[in-house]
Amino acid sequence: MKKAAIGVDIGGTNTAIGVVDELGNVVVKDNIATPSHGDVDRYMDDLTLAIRGLMNSVNLMNPEVEIMGIGIGAPNGNYYAGTIEHAANLSFRGIVQLVKLLKVRFPELQAIALTNDANAAAIGEMIYGGAKGMKNFVMFTLGTGVGSGIVVNGDLVYGCDGFAGECGHTTLIPDGRLCGCGSWGHMEAYCSAPGMKRTAFELMARYNANDSLLAGIPFNELDSKMIFDAAEKGDKIALEVFEKTGQWLGMSLADTAHHLSPEAIFLFGGPTAAGDYIFRPTKASMEEHLLTSFKNKIKILPSQLKPGDAPIVGASALVYKEIEKSDLN
Amino acid sequence: MKKAAIGVDIGGTNTAIGVVDELGNVVVKDNIATPSHGDVDRYMDDLTLAIRGLMNSVNLMNPEVEIMGIGIGAPNGNYYAGTIEHAANLSFRGIVQLVKLLKVRFPELQAIALTNDANAAAIGEMIYGGAKGMKNFVMFTLGTGVGSGIVVNGDLVYGCDGFAGECGHTTLIPDGRLCGCGSWGHMEAYCSAPGMKRTAFELMARYNANDSLLAGIPFNELDSKMIFDAAEKGDKIALEVFEKTGQWLGMSLADTAHHLSPEAIFLFGGPTAAGDYIFRPTKASMEEHLLTSFKNKIKILPSQLKPGDAPIVGASALVYKEIEKSDLN
């Protein structure tokens, strides 16, 4: 009997659903709209239909596959409560009892669990990716924001209320840039993809760099891919954006390392596609900021999850962690 | 049968040893010199003699008391290895196999374990102090330096190598003050007792404050107690030292909270004796720097361990954590 798990990634406009095999491959997948109507029951009906559809098609392909459960990654997902709470980008008001509602609809499944996107990515890395066999590591997801998932002794750290792992909102530069959360100087405002854009414009302003390859692109159009392309062509501003971003990220990772002394820190997301442009200065800066007893020990690694499928794959991995926990109890 | 545990606190010049009852009271204690000769075997003989002496006197007082084990708090103490590694303030060179050497000398004891001072304080708070029943909290020890011990799911976080919990060496002000570790801008350089002194002198320089009660005290004589006394008399510089220290400490605690979402953060050490002078601005600043989902949840509490005995009491608490762990396995 082969095992598989369902991963659900709830985004602002789209909900992606996939069946993931034990190696972390998405076997079949589907999409439904994350509604703007705010009606939880209608959404649950749509979601149930889509999941049942995928379960049936897996069963047709291979009746030997056993579906173990459903894992969900969602903004503001609270693992302890199985709820989505006051998510700014979703139309649902207040608290949605997602796990409870799904358990009623899928009583035959062993495990249904939910957490936020970055935590799901961390568990995905642990079950299917580069963190297999690691007991202490941290996952950073660099995108529009910066998320993080912390693993200690083989378990995700949820904290007292399910909200642990908000490393993107630690203060990097006191009274620095405005962060998306409304506060100031957070590492997310420097190390996310929009943070890199802001750095590019700060540097062009600093050097009055009319000759930069980035100088013809308006603020609201520049993205981290354009900065990478310019760096590949030797553009000084673009190259310095990666240097600065790496310095900031490395300093922040050293702070996290001093808290947790992890074996490795994994980086996931758009900016990491730039490879050595970002990894080299990040590693150098982290080492520079580490205490002697921490130096030359902690690996900074690219996530082994495939970019497109990672949120589904990460969410599905939750299922195996849940079953492992219930086996222990 | 009443239970007790032996706590050993190894300091730079003095090793304090005590027998601690189940309520966290030190029943009897003794002191030996932490040697400058660097001879581990001679030190182990002295330590063994002192511990045997205390065990005998407890036995004479009350033969019903069972000594469960020995817990040791030591600078650079590595819990996993049971060793003291390259401690700058001790005369021993390289790695000292302290737990191994003690197990040979006390084969009848259930548990012998070692960790660093701040971790020992955290376990002390959990077993005997204000963190009883808490599963997720952080302990900060503010003194000459700033140490920290992190508890997640009821267990101390040691990280992959035993060195986790160095929150005092996270960067508070990039390129800020020189830290004792040789790096720059660490929170320890701002929030320790010497950090408060440095703040006092920065403020006197800023305001040219010849009329401050602190203006007649040389740099190498000022301590945090003098700053407290001056604050009590309404001295503006001293009052602002507490405000600034609290702002920095609160910002740093918010960073730690964003990592771990603890139920409470405990503060221990000299500067906390100033009570509201330090707790009020620290709380206000932490709340100001927290994400909305973290606000008004996390308590900042004074340690319930008695200042003088805390290192012994904390170290002794390790014994009960060890027995709990071996019972689980």
Residues of B in contact with A294 (CB under 8 A): 163, 166
End-to-end CA distance of chain B: 24
Of the candidates A111, A136, A170, which has an alpha carbon nearest to the alpha carbon of residue A321? A111
Whole-Å CA distances, B96 to B43, B182, B222:
11, 25, 36
Rg (CA), chain A: 21
Of chain B residues 297-316, which have a CB less than 8 A from chain A?
297
Of chain A residues 194-253, which have a CB less than 8 A from chain B?
251
Query: Which pLDDT tens digit goes with each residue over A26-57?
Result: 999 999 999 888 899 999 999 999 999 999 99
Query: Could you report the predicted ipTM of this complex, rounded to two decimals?
Result: 0.93
Query: Which pLDDT tens digit goes with each residue over B66-98?
Result: 999 999 999 889 999 999 987 777 888 889 999
Which residue of chain B is at minimal alpha-carbon distance from A77? Answer: B293
Instruction: Output the six-digit token pair for B252.
Output: 């740093």
**Is A251 in Cβ contact with B161 (below 8 Å)?**
no
Q: Are A150 and A266 in contact (CB under 8 A)?
A: no
For chain A, the 3-state helix, strand and coil shares in percent, each to the nearest 5, are 40, 20, 35
Query: Which pLDDT tens digit goes with each residue over B195-248?
Result: 999 999 999 999 999 999 999 999 999 999 999 999 999 999 999 999 999 999
User: Domains of chain A: which residue ranges?
Assistant: 2-129+308-328, 137-302
Identical topology for domains B2-129+308-328 and B137-302: yes
Q: How confident is the model at residue A329 (pLDDT cuts 50, 70, 90)?
A: low
Instruction: Say how many CB pairs under 8 Å bridge A and B.
Output: 121
End-to-end CA distance of chain A: 24
Q: Global pTM?
A: 0.93
**Is B289 in Cβ contact with A183 (below 8 Å)?**
yes
Of chain B residues 127-186, which have a CB less than 8 A from chain A?
135-136, 150, 152-153, 155, 157-167, 169-174, 181, 183
CATH topology of domain B137-302: Nucleotidyltransferase; domain 5 (3.30.420)
- CATH architecture of residue range(s) A2-129+308-328: 2-Layer Sandwich (3.30)
Q: What's the rounded Cα separation, in Å, for the pair B9 and B75?
A: 9
Average pLDDT over chain A, rounded to whole? 94
